[in-house]
Structure 1
Amino acid sequence: MDALLERLRTGLPAEALITDPDVTASYAHDMASFCEAGAPAVVVLPRTVEEVQHVMRTATELRVPVVPQGARTGLSGAANASDGCIVLSLVKMDRILEISPVDRIAVVEPGVVNATLSRAVEEHGLCYPPDPSSWEMCTIGGNIGTASGGLCCVKYGVTAEYVLGLEVVLADGRLLKTGRRTAKGVAGYDLTRLFVGSEGSLGIVVKAVLALRPRPPQQLVLAAEFPSAAAACDAVCRIMERGHTPSLLELMDRTTVRAVNAMASMGLPETTEALLLCAFDTPDPGADLAAVGELCAAAGATEVVPAEDAAESELLLQARRMSLPALEAVRSATMIDDVCVPRSQLGAMLEGTAAVAEKFGLTIGVCAHAGDGNTHPVVCFDHTDADESRRARESFDEIMALGLALGGTITGEHGVGVLKKEWLARELGEVGVELQRGIKAAFDPLGLLNPGKLF
């Protein structure tokens, strides 16, 4: 410990090092349940690329593991510390270095908060589409590490589609530049995409070139109530089959609607079994919403209510963004699953999840990026009750098994981290895991970067 701190101090200002165990303990984990976390030896908060390089050179020299972190809003334990590690928190590297309306790019450091970037580019008539539910807190570096999605991904796509280039500090302290600033480019292997979703296991992102889009018109939202989750999923299939491209297509089941009302008195219809939110940011959103409203009615919607203005639309979106915090308030703990299935299997996924909830006698609310088939079953349980905690973990595993059986994936946007290591191996298979471990070894031969995650 003394040798580590002495070596770190030679290249870092005193304020960049945290050694107080009461403080370092607060950096030990993200927001996931059932994920082990160790005690870090030190927390480092660098402000420059050179400081990050110094940390990695020191770690390599002394063979100390390094756990990169953003805002720790993750839900899979990917940011959890290991015993004796250096926690490398990038939150102080929070500068927006460039916004180019002509090239439609932004160049940012990893600690920039998603919402901060979004508001900054809006001043230039642009937008950065990826918008995770935690967008007011989560950082761009964290978004890149987990390949985050968001509410608007049904039309605009996920983080991976907006990362054009990166600067990455490798395990040995070397600086790697990947990708480009141009609209196109196919020079060599796509290392940029390789780092997106790698959960800090291949290198430390210290700069990102992000693609921007012109700011779309103000979107309008429609809310449709359904007598069953199956009917709501049928409406989703009809909407996509007819070629509509909503800017948002989200689903909240009855449990989620009631939880949101209990938390914020939103006045959502508690008699509904499923609430579908659909939005358009087209030049004539009213016409698009009317067409979708007819499809919802044909699928069995009991009521279809289009928002009259932007204020009503924003209220509905706020209710959806509140879904996870509201479900977290139902019991003392939650496990938030992240299973993505083909849209055609969305109904089967929700019906199967309801059966799992009944089997284990638990409250499991589901909110979903329905347009992508990305479901978030939230298992609510009392963490002080050993039997209930066991049932929660078993139900979580059954939901992931269900997703794979339906042709889906164990994670659409939250990542693997610690929580889903076993399930990643099941999804990838023996050959897939072997090759991915080989990639990890090429970038991090000593295994110092975020050890114990993914594999």
Structure 2
Amino acid sequence: MIMSRIEARRDEDTVAAGPLVDRLLGGLPAEAVLTDPDVTASYANDMASFCPAGSPAVVVLPRTVEQVQHVMRTATELRVPVVPQGARTGLSGAANASDGCIVLSLTKMDRILEIDPVDRIAVVEPGVVNATLSRAVGEHGLAYPPDPSSWEMCTIGGNIGTASGGLCCVKYGVTAEYVLGLDVVLADGRLMSTGRRTAKGVAGYDLTRLFVGSEGSLGIVVRAVLALRPKPPEQLVLAAEFSSSAAACDAVCRIMAGGHVPSLLELMDRTTVRAVNDMARMGLPESTEALLLAAFDTTDPAADLAAVGALCEAAGATQVVPAEDAAESELLLTARRMSLVALEAVKGTTMIDDVCVPRSRLGELIDGVERISEKHRLTIGVVAHAGDGNTHPTVCFDAQDPEESRRARESFDEIMALGLQLGGTITGEHGVGVLKKEWLARELGPVNLEMQRAVKQVFDPHGILNPGKLF
């Protein structure tokens, strides 16, 4: 009986989706249109917790701009919502499906179209994986600096959609600073180009920046012109142990006030250090309350590390250990990159906050997170891009325990409220998606929110692009 009901439901879905699928197949090859409910269900979520997701009517995997245009024309004519997706490594629910939608997966559009060492640009499709691009431009003596922790999986299109950052943003900046121009398929299927290939250009409104961070709510990015930099020397990393997070944050303030420009300045609290050791036996110092990692990719990194090491000692570091070579440096960076995965292993599920505060108030945020952790009787580890005040308090909980899940959600919200109280923002690089919709309204205020909704209306008058996200 149960199986017959399931089959009957599948038959109903097939009938309902029939006209849509037929129209899509008119401009897409059969292998690019997925309708099996078991398959389409696997495209329903990104990696965020507590974010509802619907059931897609169909998943499409276009390979050309023309195919994306066909999808959007069809969606507009039939008034079907479209949810753009990359690798679904996001942490805010921005790529979650809505009921009856077309999931537009751009992972098959994965070509690097051009690398120009003279103009220092790369032209890429949205499905190019961040690490793949980094390695490709490296062969030309160039670098694409934005490097999210998920860089081996995440795509450039997803990075653009969420305006992502990474470990190196303290020196090199975030994705928005490297997007020079875009080709975007609008909701009605028209193709629009924004920006430029030149190093300078101020003609008209900066629509390129408007699309960066828009989470697929204004159009579908199908091509990007990205700025590149000369490949820097190999960086060396220093690890400094502290007996308190406050002392580590004091060191961060001393380093930045001293005019130093590290290529990386990352913080891991005691909870995170122990989680990484438990997962990978990294041998990190478990006696520490906070571990600060600083790196330099200058012509004389050893001298820079020595100067920063002295500042760490002045702030109360109990031990300062500079890496001796690139291999030792990479080991420390590997530990930092696996932090979020290690924290997830503590209880099986995590909620990863993304609060950014002024550097001068970083210590207050971390102390506040500790109080929230104690109040809700939860494990909350903090990792941070300390150099720019972007923290990732990570709530560990058992998703099968309703009471613990409730406390996890409450603690998450209290951390965001604390960030705003300290003059910060609810998201530094993960985006809003579904997870932080209510908090976006609080941060922006009514007038700002009204203007943003008006922009959305201009680009997407029928409200079909990633509905239910951001606002």
1:22 aligns to 2:14 (yes or no) = no
| 1:119 Cα deviation from its structure 2 partner | 0.1
Aligned residue number for residue 104 of structure 1: 120
Aligned residue number for residue 40 of structure 1: 56
Deviation per residue, 1:171-224 (Å, 9 max, x gap) = 000000000000000010000000000000000000000000000000000000
Q: RMSD over aligned Cα, in angstroms?
A: 0.3
Distance 2:278 2:63 in 1: 42
Aligned counterpart for 1:295 among listed residues 287, 307, 311: 311
Amino acid at match of 1:450: N
Q: State the SS of the aligned residue for 1:165.
A: strand
1:185 aligns to 2:201 (yes or no) = yes
Amino acid at match of 2:54: G
Aligned residue number for residue 62 of structure 1: 78
Distance 1:250 1:21 in 2: 42
**Percentage of identical aligned residues:** 84
Distance 1:26 1:317 in 2: 32
Aligned residue number for residue 368 of structure 1: 384
| 1:332 Cα deviation from its structure 2 partner | 1.9
Aligned residue number for residue 20 of structure 2: 4
Aligned counterpart for 2:350 among listed residues 327, 331, 334: 334
Q: State the SS of the aligned residue for 1:340.
A: coil
Pairs within 5 Å for 1:239-388: 239-388=255-404
User: How many pairs were matched up?
Assistant: 455
Pairs within 5 Å for 1:400-415: 400-415=416-431
Distance 1:454 1:349 in 2: 25
Deviation per residue, 1:153-180 (Å, 9 max, x gap) = 0000000000000000000000000000
| 1:278 Cα deviation from its structure 2 partner | 0.0
| 1:424 Cα deviation from its structure 2 partner | 0.1
Distance 1:218 1:2 in 2: 55
Q: State the SS of the aligned residue for 1:117.
A: helix
Aligned residue number for residue 4 of structure 2: none
Distance 1:351 1:269 in 2: 21
Aligned residue number for residue 91 of structure 2: 75
| 1:388 Cα deviation from its structure 2 partner | 0.3
Amino acid at match of 2:94: A
Distance 2:344 2:135 in 1: 28
Aligned residue number for residue 173 of structure 2: 157
Distance 1:422 1:63 in 2: 26
Deviation per residue, 1:204-246 (Å, 9 max, x gap) = 0000000000000000000000000000000000000000000
Q: State the SS of the aligned residue for 1:251.
A: strand
Aligned residue number for residue 3 of structure 2: none
Aligned residue number for residue 10 of structure 2: none
| 1:110 Cα deviation from its structure 2 partner | 0.1
| 1:84 Cα deviation from its structure 2 partner | 0.1
Distance 2:410 2:308 in 1: 38
Task: Compute the TM-score of the two structures, normalised by the length of structure 2.
Answer: 0.96
Amino acid at match of 2:33: L
Aligned counterpart for 2:244 among listed residues 210, 220, 228: 228
Aligned counterpart for 1:208 among listed residues 224, 231, 238: 224
| 1:43 Cα deviation from its structure 2 partner | 0.2
Distance 2:87 2:371 in 1: 35
| 1:11 Cα deviation from its structure 2 partner | 0.2
Distance 2:401 2:22 in 1: 44
Aligned counterpart for 1:428 among listed residues 419, 444, 454: 444
Distance 2:21 2:302 in 1: 61
Distance 2:423 2:178 in 1: 26
1:445 aligns to 2:458 (yes or no) = no
Distance 1:45 1:8 in 2: 11
Amino acid at match of 1:193: R
1:238 aligns to 2:254 (yes or no) = yes
Distance 1:188 1:327 in 2: 45
Gaps of 5+ in 1: none
Distance 2:32 2:448 in 1: 39
Distance 2:266 2:348 in 1: 26
Q: State the SS of the aligned residue for 1:339.
A: coil
Distance 2:252 2:34 in 1: 49
Q: State the SS of the aligned residue for 2:262.
A: coil
Aligned counterpart for 1:396 among listed residues 412, 430, 449: 412
- After TM superposition, what 4+ stretches of structure 1 lie above 6 angstroms from structure 2? none
Q: State the SS of the aligned residue for 1:276.
A: strand
Amino acid at match of 1:397: D
Gaps of 5+ in 2: 1-16
Q: State the SS of the aligned residue for 2:347.
A: coil
Aligned residue number for residue 94 of structure 1: 110
Deviation per residue, 1:265-319 (Å, 9 max, x gap) = 0000000000000000000000000000000000000000000000000000000
Task: Compute the TM-score of the two structures, normalised by the length of structure 1.
Answer: 1.00
